[in-house]
Amino acid sequence: MTHSTRLKDQPASERPRERLVAQGAGALKNAELIAILLRTGCQGMNAGKVGERLLAQYGSLQELARASVDDLRRVKGIGRDKAVTLVAAFALAQKMAADLQRESPILDNPEAVADLMREDGRFRPVETLFALLLNSRRRLIRVEQISQGTLDTILVHAREVFKAAIAANAARIVLVHNHPSGDPTPSEADIKVTRDLIRAGHLLKIEVDDHLILGRKTSERDQDYVSLRELGYFYT
């Protein structure tokens, strides 16, 4: 690369850092945001290419976020320091999601639940079921991980779900689990488990408000989750 093609010689309007300041982070492509994280000195152009290479190799940010330092170092152009930077950035995103959980939000609609759980669920390589324990005003008490399964199956028993709810004196719960495939369409097993847990909740006087399945947006699907209540499955 010649000196004239270095990042500092680009017009300010084309430099990722300057564009972020002027237009906000939402105006940048994922590869450009990665370039900012990985940039050292005047090698920003190379960093941008590395960002594109990373996304091409892993296919999505979700898959990239699951990569370890050793995994990342196998990518051309990624050394130890850059790998550590990326892992740290994704870890901070997860910690931010955990901080949001501790703020005791009111969870009275599916979108609020999805916003709370999205970052945690998207990084998990297998299906993981959570129970969001709520008080009578639908304010979050805490998030409880109930079980983990395989790529497409979770095995769960009602006693595992409601044990935590009873201990926390929760009045109601919301169930949330992820589909690693990215397609949030409920399976027959998802529907059956939900109805079983609704019936168990009635007996224990703990309402199951909803069951959300987290996936990913696509060009054909503008929402990255589904609500089984909204889909009409909340009859027993």
Report pLDDT digits (tens) over 166-210: 999 999 999 999 999 899 999 999 999 999 999 999 999 999 999
26 confidence band (pLDDT: 50, 70, 90): confident
Span 151-173, pLDDT tens digits: 555 668 888 899 999 999 999 99
Q: How far is CA 134 from the centre of its chain?
A: 21
Note the residue count of the chain. Answer: 236
Integer Cα distance of 17 and 11 in angstroms: 12
* 8 A C-beta contact, residue 150 and residue 127: yes
Ranges of beta strands (E only) in the chain are 128-134, 140-148, 172-178, 207-214, 225-227
Query: Which pLDDT belongs to residue 70?
Result: 94
The residue behind tokens 């005003």 is 137
Cα atoms in the Cβ-side hemisphere of radius 13 Å centred on 129 = 24
Integer Cα distance of 199 and 208 in angstroms: 9
Span 43-59, pLDDT tens digits: 444 546 778 888 888 88
Mean pLDDT score, 209-230: 93
pTM here is: 0.60
77 confidence band (pLDDT: 50, 70, 90): confident
> Closest by alpha carbon to 206, among 136, 116, 129?
136
Mean pLDDT of the chain: 84
SS3 24: coil
Query: Which pLDDT belongs to residue 43?
Result: 46
